[in-house]
Each structure stands twice: as structure tokens, then as C-alpha cells.
Amino acid sequence: MGQNAPTWFRELDHTADTGIEVWAPSLPELFERAAWGLFALLTDPETVRPREAMAFALEAPDVQALLVRWLSELNYYHITRRWVFSRFDIQQLNERQLQAQAWGEPIDPDRHTIYTEVKAVTYHGLQLERRDGQWYARIIFDL
């Protein structure tokens, strides 16, 4: 990952997998930053132009499952449609529902170096909690 990683994001080393830790002042911003973190593992977000928006409306049994579902849906678009994203906006978020937009573009091999492929967003070691006045998440990805 580039040397310009923001202070609210850290990549984790994990055997046969990889993970991220993310901090944010609000839960919607945490979801946005987690999405950015996923794509920072996949490519350099600075090379991704936010040319087109995609809308997402998702449901899950609880907020932890919603975070996994959100990241999984973005990864699905990356794998199946060969898209990369660099901008995210959570428009509505509650315990079981999310409405969001993500901006990106199809992969351009001349501009987007793909570092790795994420097979799945896992529940292994998943943490999502409020700490010291901020939201914190730890997410492990199966590579």
C-alpha cells in the first residue's frame, strides 16, 4: 500500500488472509472508510477516477452483518464486473439497512495495478464497536 495511507486506516498482517482496522467519528463514515480500505488493499485508490456512481440498498440481520454485506457487495462488483471504486457515500444507515453510493470505473490495466484478489469478507475476528468516542472496525479478508 502507498505511503500516503490515512491515519484512520491500518493494514493488518494475518496468516493466509489480510485485514484492516478502521476508525471514524460516526458509523456511516466508518462504513465509507472500510470500503476505501478494501480498495486500498486491491489497488491504489489515487489511480481510480470516480467517473460513475452505483447505488446500493442492502439489508442484514445486524450492523456487523451489514458491514460484511456492504464490503462483500463492493468486492462482488470488483470481481464480476472488473470495477474499482475510490469514493463512497453512506446515505442512510441503521441497524439493519444501508443505502449508499460508490463511485469508480472499470479496471484500466494501464492505470490500475491490482495487488491482490479478495475471495471473501469474513466474520473471523470481526469487530465493530465504539471506542473512546470513535467507531472502530477490524475486518479480515480471505485472499
List the domain boundaries for the chain.
Answer: 28-142
What confidence score (pLDDT) does residue 116 get? Answer: 92
More confident residue, 58 or 17: 58
Residue 27, strand partner residues: none
CATH 3.55.10.10 fits 28-142, yes or no: yes
**Which SS3 state, helix, strand or coil, does residue 73 take?**
helix
Average pLDDT, the chain: 93
Count Cβ atoms within 10 A of the Cβ of residue 94 and give its class: 0-12 exposed, 13-18 middle, 19 or more buried: exposed
pLDDT in tens, 79-97: 999 999 999 999 999 999 9
Instruction: Write down how long the chain is.
Output: 143
* Among 116, 125, 22, 126, residue whose Cα is nearest residue 75: 116
Give the whole-number percent of the chain exceeding pLDDT 90.
87
CA distance 20 to 31: 12
